[in-house]
Structure 1
Amino acid sequence: MDAILLCAGKGTRLRPLTDRIPKPLVPLAGSSPLERSLHILPARIDRVILVVGHLGHVIQERIGSYSQGRDVVYVEQKPLNGTGGALRQARMHIRSELFLVMNGDDLYDQEDLRKLAADGPALLTLERALDRMIDSWKIGDDGSLQDLIPSVPGASARINIGAYVLDRRWFGTSPVRVPGKTDEWSLPHAIPQLIADGVRIRAQQASFWMPVGTPEELASAEAVLAKSLEAKAG
């Protein structure tokens, strides 16, 4: 199975750090978000596609063409037009029928990814009390996705955390813009079209996820991973 890691963003909220370091490679507990993700990919992943953009040459120099026993292929995202645009640009390089897609600059749990990739199509979600208006997933009694719906602040909801197992039917969907954006296409907002066509997509509940998009999130992630390393050493 191919894994497509989305690594093209500019990381504007982490400037000035990301003026010289691509966001997926920001220093984090002796490693980086991308390198950590490459280490915890499920065993059934045998090939990696990195979609790069901002400072993509730095990622290519650091990771190279082989990582953790897997070939690594690079796709440059031009223009930087969202997660949906990134996946469509990677399409011609995907060889497997099922493929894992995930953000290359977020932190995930190894066991969560293993369960996600065990049986697809599937999507990783996290139940969280919301502090802002955000779209969240409605889940059916059988554990499958039903729809992507608006949720209100203060409510508990199953949110999208940027990790999916999809198949080639996703490429038959019509592009959907990221809400509030005019120049970005959304990967998850196209998924309801598949659901409407009768495609069953399993909702896999995550045990852990941390975005690393702001200085505060980076500091929190550093603290969590440092504590985890201390626990393992003890």
Structure 2
Amino acid sequence: MRPLTLEKPKQLLEIAGRPILVRIFENLPDEIGEVVLVVGYMGDKIRDYFGDKFLGRKIRYVEQKEKLGTADALWSCRDILGEERFLMLYGDDILDKESIERCLTHDLALLVKEVGDPRRFGVVVADERGRVIDIVEKPEVPLSSLASTGVKVLDGRIFDYPARQHPNGEYYITDSLAQLIKNHDIFVEHAKFWFSIATPEDLKKVNESFKIFSEKY
């Protein structure tokens, strides 16, 4: 995301005049009363902006000292989350509130979106009931067009399935999910809109499209 992130973390870059993370807060389901933020690069700026409470929700912070992947970020929250059911979101994904709320109707769930080329995402295969039967991180040959967004409804059972470390040093939550589905049912819900912000070009596209999608959904 450089040069945009030379002076601020990506989560504070703006979409239609408000930081990405504020947009995420705005779309949280009403029943979410507490948020755990995993911070790293320029985490102090995120703490200064959001404080201990934002939009009526208590905030706790966990520091991820090295960027070691999505599973490592989640595991850093293990002592706080315990066995509780929780909603996991990525700090650079924008999705519609209604789709996130539908995920909460399941004990365990993933929010997915059909995309043209899912190879840069976790790819999900679901059966006719919407139950996840396979999930693979960034496959060269995808088995479906369903990309896993950052939204997941999980509980303490996920911590029974630690992820392996990949050659790039990272631990992927998809590895843990692939083990979890062998013993527990996880269901998919389909997002109405999803913006994944990985590049300056992505941010530009989101800003061009956000108003249209937010008014529609």
Residues 1:133 and 1:73: Cα distance change in structure 2 (over 3 Å): closer
SS of the equivalent of 1:18 reads coil
The CA distance in 2 between the partners of 1:225 and 1:141, in whole Å, is 32
Task: Select which of 157, 160, 175 maps to 1:189.
Answer: 175
Match of 2:163 in 1: 175
Match of 2:6 in 1: 19
SS of the equivalent of 1:222 reads helix
Match of 1:8 in 2: none
The CA distance in 2 between the partners of 1:75 and 1:134, in whole Å, is 25
1:128/1:156 contact within 8 Å kept:
no
The CA distance in 2 between the partners of 1:225 and 1:26, in whole Å, is 14
The CA distance in 2 between the partners of 1:166 and 1:100, in whole Å, is 6
RMSD value, Cα: 2.0
Match of 2:185 in 1: 200
| Residue identity opposite 2:65 in structure 1 | K
Q: CA deviation at 1:68?
A: 1.5
Match of 1:164 in 2: 152
Deviations 1:86-123 (A, max 9, x none): 00011111266110001011111111111112322100
Match of 1:105 in 2: 92
Residues 1:95 and 1:172: Cα distance change in structure 2 (over 3 Å): closer
Matched, 1:69 2:69: no
SS of the equivalent of 1:17 reads coil
Match of 1:9 in 2: none
| Residue identity opposite 2:128 in structure 1 | D
The CA distance in 2 between the partners of 1:187 and 1:41, in whole Å, is 21
Identify unmatched segments of 5+ residues in structure 2.
Answer: none
Matched, 1:121 2:108: yes
Q: CA deviation at 1:189?
A: 2.1
Matched, 1:210 2:195: yes
Mapping of residues 148-163 of structure 1, within 5 Å: 148-149=135-136, 150=139, 152=141, 157-163=145-151
Q: CA deviation at 1:39?
A: 1.2
Residues 1:134 and 1:172: Cα distance change in structure 2 (over 3 Å): same
Identify unmatched segments of 5+ residues in structure 1.
Answer: 1-13
> Normalising to structure 2: TM-score of the pair?
0.91
